[in-house]
Structure formats: C-alpha cells, structure tokens
C-alpha cells in the first residue's frame, strides 16, 4: 500500500485529574515508541498540567492503519473544509476512547490534536482531497 502521510505531529494535555501514564499510552497507540516531549505547567487554579507532544514523526504506519480501520478519513472527505488547511489534515481524537477502546473517535474538547502532513511540500487542499480519495480506493497517488 502506498504511504499517504509524510509526517505527523501531535499534542495532548494531561490534567491533574488524569493519569499521565494513561494519556501517554493513548498517544503511543498513534506513534508507537517515539519519545514524547513533556512540558509541565500550572493551570489557572493552581492545578498541575502536563503537555505531551511530538513533532516530525516520519513513520505514520500506526495512525494510517487506525484512520482506515475506524473510518476517520471518510469523515475528513465528507467535510474537508473542516479538517484540511494548507495541505495538512487537522484532527482532534478523543483520548479516553483511544485509551479505553483502542479506537479512534473524533472529539471537540479535551482531545489529542493530530496534524498529518500529506505531501513533502505544501499542496492545495483540493489536491489533499484527491490523494485521500485515491488512497481510500486503493489507487496510487503521486507525491
């Protein structure tokens, strides 16, 4: 199968009421054993917040598999203007569902922010849509 994604970046916030280890486990479902960066900060009410993030992940095999298996790319194609900007697919993945059920579910709040770069250079959003369609149909796409 042709690889669709060239690069992946993600970010999640672990609040004081959450297990940081569980959030890390959820992120590892997406990127495997890639080293996650941690930034520790304090919230408005004095609560500890840990921001977990990683940029420039080249091996997108795990997330590609999950996106296909769980039908997320179909949602992206149904509303490309909501998810694609400047040649990058932006998703918010429910971290609780990912941890507990090992599947992807789109979310609006308290989510893992995922940014997937499709081409090695910036491309128009319509071209990203064409690549997604070709990928989902099993066809080849040129990069």
The 10s digit of each residue's pLDDT in 89-141 is 999 999 999 999 999 999 988 899 999 999 877 889 999 999 999 988 875 55
Question: In 1-143, at which residue ranges do the beta strands (DSSP E only) sit?
Answer: 7-15, 37-42, 48-57, 84-85, 88-94, 111-117
Backbone phi and psi for residue 13, each to the nearest 5 degrees, phi listed first: -110, 130
pLDDT tens digits along 40-89: 999 999 999 999 999 999 999 999 999 999 999 999 999 999 999 999 99
In the chain, what are the domains?
Answer: 7-136 (3.30.1440.10)
Dist. CA 85–CA 54, nearest whole Å: 20
CA-CA distances (angstroms) from residue 7 to 41, 85, 118, 119?
Answer: 27, 15, 7, 8
pTM value? Answer: 0.89
């Amino acid at each position: 199968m042709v690889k669709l994604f060239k690069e992946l970046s993600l970010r999640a916030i672990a609040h004081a009421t959450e297990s940081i280890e569980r959030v890390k486990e959820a992120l590892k479902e997406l990127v495997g054993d890639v080293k996650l960066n941690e930034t520790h900060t304090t919230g408005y009410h004095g609560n500890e917040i840990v921001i977990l993030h990683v940029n420039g992940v080249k091996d997108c095999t795990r997330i590609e598999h999950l996106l296909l298996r769980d039908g997320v790319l179909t949602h992206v194609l149904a509303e490309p203007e909501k998810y694609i900007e400047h040649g990058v697919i932006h998703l918010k993945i429910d971290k609780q569902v990912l941890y507990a059920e090992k599947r992807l579910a789109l979310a609006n709040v308290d989510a893992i922010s995922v940014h997937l770069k499709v081409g090695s250079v910036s491309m128009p959003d319509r071209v990203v849509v064409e690549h997604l369609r070709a990928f989902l149909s099993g066809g080849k796409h040129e990069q």
